[in-house]
Amino acid sequence: MPREMKVMMEQTVLPWLRTLRGGDVYLSRVFQTFGLTESALDEKVAGAVDPTEARVSFRASFPEISLRLVVHGKPEAAAARLEVLAARIRERIGPHVYGEGPITLEEVAGRLLAERRLTLALAESMTGGLVAHRVTNVSGSSIATKQRTRRQRDRGRKSCESASGSPSAWRRTGIAGPEAATAEKPAGTLWLALASASGGTVTRRYQLWGERDWMKILASQIALDWLRRYALGQPVTDSQLFRPRSGRDGR
């Protein structure tokens, strides 16, 4: 929407339209989600909101889905009903909601890390630095990078061992294109590892799909969601959209 149009709508058109409704208002709450398909999201919230209470709609914008809750009525009653219904929605899909309103996953992950005074070290291969790019696009973030000059030759870059080889760090490596693909490691193979200062390490293998750009975006989104979940103390791999492949990690 053009900037001039937005001002006209907010200051003139919308107030005028409200006078035609006799004081009724439309209030909305938007939940930003990741880790569920649209059909799975619909199943989880089914029955939580009666059609007479509010309208629930979904908007898929790869790689995430927004759930919009809209209520109508007198201002105070509508506001109270919105809070009740929003609580019901969160109860159903809470772990998969990373924020409300116009907010990005990198903003949420960055804020959580800052609030908990956690630092982040990244080593990326498949994503080509996209996670670092997204994190540093958020105002107030800072990062220090170090070019690794020696590769793990015996185990290979695209392996579980390579992914978990960075202590107190977050690492992702994989194969996005057909050139480096093999029967054991087809295109779309993604290894993720999260190592914390407490000594715990989680390593998972995923099989992504789509074109190279899509896989890079998807891999960076999974990585940021892992960081968000880790900061919140949630299981980092609790996702119905991406099931880990069986691999040699066994964890």
Same domain, 8 and 29: yes
* Percentage with pLDDT > 70 across the chain: 75
- 3-state DSSP assignment of residue 225: helix
199-209 pLDDT per residue, tens: 688 888 888 87
Same domain, 21 and 43: yes
The pLDDT assigned to 5 comes to: 86
26-47 pLDDT per residue, tens: 999 999 999 998 999 999 999 9
In a domain, 249, yes or no: no
Q: Backbone phi, then psi, for 28, in 5-degree steps? A: -135, 160
CATH number for position 218: 3.90.950.20
The whole model's pTM is what? 0.75
CATH number for position 95: 3.30.70.2860
The pLDDT assigned to 10 comes to: 84
Range of the domain at 25: 3-100
Beta strands 122-124; 189-195: pairing state? unpaired
87-144 pLDDT per residue, tens: 999 999 989 999 999 999 999 999 998 898 888 888 888 888 999 999 988 887 765 4
Q: Which of 127, 202, 128, 211 is nearest to 163 (CA)?
A: 202
Confirm if 218 and 208 have CB atoms less than 8 A apart: yes
